[in-house]
Amino acid sequence: MSTEHEPTEQMITEAASWLALLHDEPVSADDREAFEMWLQADPGHELAVSRMQSLWGSFDGLSDTPARVALRQSFAPAGSKPLARSVQAIALIGVLACGWAGVEHVPVWMADHHTDVGERQQFLLADGSQVQLNSRSALDVKFDGRQRIVELLQGELWVEVAKDVQRPFVVRTDQGTITALGTRFLVRRDPEGTTVSVLESAIAAQANTANVVKVATGQQALLKDGVVQTPHALGNDDPAAWTRGLLKVDDRPLSEVLRVLNDYRPGLLRFDADELQGMRVSGVFRLDDTDTALATLADNLPIKVERFTDLLVVIKPSTP
C-alpha cells in the first residue's frame, strides 16, 4: 500500500474527535462546514477518518461496556471544538489497542491482513487456502504444525480451504469457532454475533463452550451469547454476492441493508433502526456505488436521505 498519504498520529486523533462530534446530536452547520474544511486540507485526513470509522463501528453493539463509557467520557466536555479535544482522542486509541471486556482487539491496520472502507482483498494463505476479505475487515493468521487458526478480528471473510488432514482449519471470533469439514464458507462478525454461511460441504460451529453444531451446504447459522442457533436454509439469499461486488437481498430489514452499505462508505451513515422497523428490501445493489443504492431505496421506500457532507449521511422516515 502506498504511504504517500499515510495519516499521522495527529490526523488519527483529530479524526477520532471529529467522529465523536458528528456521531452525537446536535451537529451545527458551522461544525459541518469546519469538518469539510478539515477534510479537504490534506489527503491523509479522509484515510484517517475511514480507519477511525472502522474502529468506531466496532462499538455499535457495546453500549454498556467500560470501553464505550470511557470513549464517551473522553469526548464529554460540552461546547468544546474538535481540535481542542484531539489530545483526549488518544484515549480512544488506547482503549482499542488494549482491548475491552476481556476480548482481544487491535487496530485493523495492525492485523496480518486488513481492508479499508470499500476495499475487498483476495489472497492465498501459506497452506494454499484461498481467502477473500470484505470491506472493513481484519484477519490474523496463526498456523503451526498441529492446526491452522485464522482469527477474524472484524468484518467478513470467504474461504476455500486447502485439504490438510493433519491440521484442522479453524476460524475464530469472539463468539466461538468454526472448524472446516469441507471447503467453501463465509464468516461474518458484527454486533449481532458471528454468522457462518456454508457454500460447499460442511462446518462444525461451537459457541465457546457450548455443544458443536454441524452446518451443511446451503445453510446458515448464528453464534451468539454462547449458543449456536439452529441452522436454517439460505433460500434465495446470496451471502457471497459481495465477492462479486454486489449486495443481493431477499425480503431483508432495511436497517440490515443500510449496515452493509455503511461498510462500503467512508464516514457515517446514520439511522435509527427502530424508526425504520417494518421496512423490508429485496433487490440487487452495486457495492461500489452506494449513492445510487441509497437513491434507489429512497425511491421505493418512505424514507429520505439527508446529506450534510460526503462523510455524513442521515436516513430518516419521510413525513406523511
Nearest to 267 by CA among 27, 38, 106, 46: 46
Least Cα distance to 315 among 243, 233, 253 occurs for: 253
Give the DSSP letter of residue 150.
E
What end-to-end distance do the CA atoms of the chain give, in Å? 48
**pTM: predicted TM-score of the whole model, two decimal places:** 0.70
Q: What's the confidence (pLDDT) of residue 230? A: 95
Could you tell me the three cell numbers for 285? 445493489
Which residues does residue 172 pair with via DSSP β-bridges, in sequence order?
151, 177
pLDDT, position 1:
41
The dihedral built from the CA positions of residue 208, 209, 210 and 216, taken in this order, carries a sign that is positive
pLDDT score of 80: 44
Confidence label for 143 from pLDDT (cuts 50, 70 and 90) = very high
Q: Mean pLDDT over residues 262-277, rounded? A: 89
Instruction: Read off the pLDDT band of 273 (50, 70, 90).
Output: very high
The answer to whether the CB of 305 falls within 8 A of the CB of 294 is: yes
The whole-number pLDDT of residue 96 equals 39
Could you give the CA distance from residue 149 to residue 43 in angstroms, rounded to a whole number?
37
The whole-number pLDDT of residue 315 equals 94
pLDDT, tens digit (0-9, with 9 covering 90-100), for 87-105: 444 444 444 333 323 333 4
**Which pLDDT does position 26 carry in this prediction?**
67
Please name the CATH architecture into which domain 245-317 falls. Answer: 3-Layer(bab) Sandwich (3.55)
Boundaries of every domain in the chain: 9-108, 111-233, 245-317
pLDDT, greater one: 219 or 103: 219
The residue with greater pLDDT, 129 or 310, is 129
Q: What CATH code would you report for 111-233?
A: 2.60.120.1440
| Helix extents (H) in 138-192 | none
Residue 141 has pLDDT above 90, yes or no: yes
